[in-house]
A and B are shown apart, each in its own frame.
Chain A
Amino acid sequence: MQELVNRAKALLADGTVARVLGWKAGEFAYDPEPAFFETEEDLKDFVYDGFCGANLSKYMIEASKLEGKTLVFLKPCDSYSFNQLTKEHRVDREKAYIIGVGCKGKVDVKHIKEAGIKGIESIVGADYPNPAETLEIKTLYGDKTISYKDAMLERCHVCKGKDHVVFDEQIGESADTVDAERFAEVEKIEAMSPEEKFAFFRAELSKCIRCNACRNVCPACSCRKCVFDSTKFDSAQKANTTSFEEKMFHIIRAFHVAGRCTDCGECSRVCPQGIPLHLFNRKFIKDINTFYGDYQAGEDIEAQAPLTDFTFEDREPGQFAERG
């Protein structure tokens, strides 16, 4: 971590970049948040550890409008989002100085709490570059432990790879964290009967409180004006008008990012209600891969997106998808 701070300081000092976009310590050890650092002095708050799951690509949209270059730290999966945003002309590659940071899997306090560990005071072992096998957690009710793997974000179990698709320089090593099949969950749902599927999604989506966190964090959801914004007020929120609104919100949101979603998993990470929102995006990715050939958004800046393309021999919508 000190290596990152030193490099950031050097780049600030020689005037290559005007500011640094990274993570700063939050109120607790497990909630670092994205932050801009303008001076070397500010960088004392900089952190990079196992809890820095936040994808900084989307913040580069605003940073691209500022004077001078911005130093941004991107993990391998974040670099896909950055590439996708470059492709859509939402970020300016010239305004970014990208340091590709290594990643050994990111943990999330949500999974620790789900494991029944409450009253957390401190967590030891989520350091980078040498995370511990087991996290040691001090709680109000005594010391607890959880394995690093169990606390890891869902997206790390199906990691896209250790390579950055875009960077100016790379610092740090990455680890292979894959231990699950990417589409296993989707396939499980596909195999259910219509009644079971319906019950599953109705229960999950009924938890939605329409806080819009998934939309606001999503690097693909970067429209200046969203279809779900109120047309009458200058507010990001729109009260649901019918009991159908939340369902539609999630289906349409997934559809709008279909073919552009890099599967970064931020939607599921930030959802305060724990809705597995990545299941929607991943279903579209799976369908696109099956119907129109493998496509990974953000991998290649020149590639034609599947929904802005067609072939004469495309399958008919009535053809049933092969199961499994």
Chain B
Amino acid sequence: MSLNNEFKPKIVAFCCNWCSYAGADLAGSSRLAYPADVKIIRVPCSCRVNPMFILRAFEKGADGVIMCGCHPGDCHYSTGNYYARRRMTLLFSMLDYLGIERARTRVEWVSAAEGVKFSQTMNEFVEDIRKLGKNVRLEDLRCRN
């Protein structure tokens, strides 16, 4: 297989400002590698992630979406990630119900000190998505032939 034909997944990562984004920063400054396929979007808190963000990401062609936040109990806003956890549990279950494999969505808790965990998680996640291949598009049948 030539290099050009290799499947390059598009991965969107929502990272909370206080833990995971700092964790990604640490991964960078510690020179730990993670795939360039991951596009990080910084959010104030994992709780800021509206279910619509995830759907929009899939609409725009994402093959996988991962949400990272502070460990439960460590949220900068005390309880944000607990609400986010319930929401994402339900949303991901719904996406699975609609035919988007469960492995394409993921939630991981990464603290500001866990640069290693961040890079490991991203490597794993990208590997999983590579195996799954291109995502299905939740599109309207009428717009297709």
A residues in contact (CB < 8 Å) with B:
186, 189-190, 194-203, 205-206, 227, 242-248, 251-252, 254-255, 258, 280, 283-284, 287-288, 291-292, 306-310, 312, 314-318, 320-321
Evaluate whether A252 and B85 lie within 8 angstroms (CB atoms) in the complex, with A258-B90, A321-B93 already known: no
Chain B 102-131, CB-CB to A under 8 Å as 1, else 0, gives 100111000000000000000000000000
Subset of 14 A-B contacts with CB under 8 Å? A186-B97, A198-B98, A242-B59, A244-B59, A245-B140, A251-B51, A255-B51, A283-B97, A284-B94, A287-B89, A310-B79, A310-B85, A317-B89, A321-B93
A197 proximity list for chain B (CB < 8 A): 97-99
Q: Quick one: closest A residue to B87, CB to CB?
A: A307
A190: contacting residue among B51, B90, B97, B138, CB under 8 A: B97
Contact with A along B36-59 (1 / 0, CB 8 A): 000000000000000110011001
From the candidates B73, B79, B86, B140, name the one contacting A247 in the complex (CB within 8 A). Answer: B140
Docked complex Cα distance between A227 and B34 (Å): 36
Residue from B91, B93, B98, B137 in contact with A244 in the complex, judged by beta carbons closer than 8 Å:
B137
Asked whether B90 lies within 8 Å of A284 as measured between CB atoms, the reply is: yes
Interface residues of B (CB under 8 A from A): 51-52, 55-56, 59, 72-73, 79, 82-83, 85-94, 96-102, 105-107, 136-144
- Chain B residues with Cβ below 8 Å from A314 are 82, 85-86, 89
The listed residue with most B CB atoms (<10 A of its CB), out of A197, A227, A306, A308, is A197
Q: Given A190-B97, A201-B98, A317-B107, do A244 and B140 touch, yes or no (CB 8 Å)?
A: yes
State how many angstroms separate the Cβ of B74 from the closest Cβ of chain A: 12
Q: Given the complex, which residues of A lie within 8 Å of B142, measured CB to CB?
A: 206, 243
A248 pairs with B52, CB closer than 8 A: yes
Whether B99 pairs with A287 at a CB distance below 8 angstroms is no
Chain A residue nearest in CB terms to B108: A318
Give CA–CA (A70, B55) in the complex, Å. Answer: 42
* Cβ–Cβ < 8 Å partners of B136 in chain A: 194, 198
**12 further A-B pairs in the complex, CB-CB below 8 A; given A202-B138, A252-B52:** A202-B141, A243-B139, A243-B144, A247-B140, A248-B56, A287-B94, A307-B90, A309-B86, A312-B73, A312-B82, A314-B82, A318-B106
CA of A314 to CA of B97 in the docked complex: distance in angstroms?
21
Is A248 a contact of B94 with CB atoms below 8 Å? Answer: no
- Chain A residues within 8 Å of B51, by CB: 251-252, 255
A-chain residues with CB within 8 Å of residue B94 when the two chains form the complex:
251, 254-255, 280, 283-284, 287
- B72, A317: Cβ atoms under 8 Å? no
Residues of A within 8 A of B88 (CB): 317
Which residues of chain B are within 8 angstroms of A194 by Cβ–Cβ distance? 96, 99-101, 136
Q: How many Å lie between the Cα of A198 and that of B138 in the bound state?
A: 8
Q: Name the CB-closest residue of A to B93.
A: A287
Separation in Å of the A199 CB from the closest CB of chain B? Answer: 7
